[in-house]
Structure 1
Amino acid sequence: MTANLSETLTLLLIEDDDGDAFLVEELLDEAEAPPRIFRARSLQEAKTKLTSRIQCVLVDLSLPDASRLEALEEVLGLAPHAAVLVLTGLRDVHVGVAAVQAGAQDYLVKQDIDARLLARSIRYAMERKRADLAQLRLVQAELTAKENARLQSGLLPVKLLHTSEIDHTTRYLPGSGGTLAGDFLDTVQTPDGAVHIVVGDVCGHGPDEAALGVALRIAWRTLVLAGQTGDTLLRTLDALLRAERKAPEIFTTLCMATIAPDLRHATLRVVGHPPPVLVRDGAVEVVAGGPSGPPLGIFPDVEWSVIEVSLGDKWSMMLYTDGLIEAAVGERNELLGVDGLLDLVREHGAIDLDRLITHVGTLSDDLAVVLVSRRKA
């Protein structure tokens, strides 16, 4: 009966015996879709041929330069993506069992091999390897999710807000890649009644950036509660960033707002960051005045200018990271941009975070948003 391999494979045969190698090659040639076969006569030769294109490895454990399971361990280390079948003699069946326990997908006794058995064993080994890799990815995804949850708990603090005159809403969403970035947010009301808000973004993605975002957020909260504000606070954050970052090119953008105790005025510093959106007296606009200065971590001895904003009696202000304006929207997947964001707010008639996020759809980058509004009298 003709052997049948379900797909054309690229296979490496590691066998020093020419007779045994010839037998295996002849049997595989009977398959309906014969695999591409590369051969190595030693472990050293195999190391040069175990590339990512090899999907399956048949390895004899009796090689001239490797003893028993040593060869298998080398192969598993060099080709973690490939299915591995061990070839053994009748007297070494127990070695084959040990090989499977060590990570091989199956073992074959040379004296029992025929075309049908060989084709079936390779096919089953491939399926077992796919299942093993899928399980590994699942475990890794679960570990990543737990790590993300731990980091996210640091990125999403409990607000310290005591006034009943302000509505406060936040959102934190990871981008489509699933890996947390260094976006962070916080809100603190000091004893004088002023409300302090920060939204920031550490460049890059990954646990290091997320951890740095947590460190900056905690430092910001501590400094605000200790009475530090303005350039003094920013210079301290800049020094912390330079001390904690893993690479000198990592920088951080942020926007800080301090709402006066009368809730009618605010001062802002836009540190290389997208400008806040402000709705007051029915008008939708970005906070005027331009950026206050460059991001943290780039230039030494920077001074950041203050933006003074008159809020009035009825207003809403949204601080956000660039994940929002870099979202692709519409049939042409164009970036939303600041102008597009303003158009959406005008279309909705107010800043509705859930509706806004639903409209932009899938985010390519993390998103942190703080929305504060003065309640109606």
Structure 2
Amino acid sequence: MEKNLEIEISKTNRGKEQIILNRKYKFNLSSKRKDNSKNINNQILEYDDSHNHLENKFGAAKSIVKNKIKDEISKSSIPFNVNIKRTYDEISQGMGLICPGYNSIKSQVTRSRRKQLPPDITTFDEIPNESKYYKTKRDENFMIFKNNDLIVFQSPFQAELFSKNKHIFADGTFYIAPIFSYQQTTYEILFEEIKKNSSKYNSIEITPKIFHCDFEKAVSNAAQKVFINANIKYCIWHFKRALEIKKKNYVVINKIKSECQEHNYVQFLEFLEYFKKTYLINFETENWNYYDNFEHITNNVSETFNKYLKKLFAKKPTFFQLLSELQKEESKYYIDYERRTAGILRNKKQKKLIRTEEIKALVKYYKNMEILL
């Protein structure tokens, strides 16, 4: 053997212990010799496999990397949280040039992690009543409600924010969520449980002053029923988009500028009739975002966050993948909020808020002047 002997102990793909010398020679502590006789004293036996070329230095190094990463995955209580690439980078620093490329071990290690993940949820009945994912990173209750077709998550930190804030934004994303019933009764239960949980943690009756959503009557009706004193504000962006889509159906946008022909006139009347029935009759003008409002006229806050969540996944996530990411996001926002309230981070929107207050003061001034006229 060589003088400067470098010994590493790892596991084979089947979980058996093995010894690697100088990142080149591989041995295992097999219970049997090649002639099938028992190896009672755990004598070191040279492991020779001509098919896998394990005597090759690169092959041995590749095996070391795979098994070290698999070992990290097996130690983690939440396999989702193991960053395979980061673990590989840490190992490769100590191995130098002999370390195999990441792509050469990526697929095998990913399969190993997948085997340790909980089984995917395909129906609502399969969702467990208890799980380590139902707690926050701070070991607080995260899952607050579950029935046959709805499961609700809200941490104490989120409940506190919900109770304190003037504006509440509601919007859904179908990309990351399992499919279940979206009827008005479901929304009512959702809002009621969030309200109940927020009151439990803060001893405050939750009555948000302004509730922002798109033009989905099931959502706004449920919000008005649960949050009795809330002022519903519909998103102006969704309103304008609906008008644009409907306008194209009547093909008047280009012709109306040149001349008012008879068929264009009729189509425009049909468009106005649609506008009247859909918005003037079904929705009160006080619920329009431009009505006495200068802070939020769209639902972009929740739309932007949903877009951010979609980017976290290359494809529609499994149930537990989604919960794992929600855990991390909740923890990240909790830390960010604590740092902001402590003055460590500045609020980037401060200038915008000051400008908004100036505009509101100006509008109030002119309203007072109108009274005096």
TM-score of the aligned structures, taking structure 1 as reference length: 0.26
Indicate the structure whose relative CO is greater, using CA pairs within 8 Å and at least 6 residues apart: 1
TM-score of the aligned structures, taking structure 2 as reference length: 0.26
Higher percent of residues as strand: 1
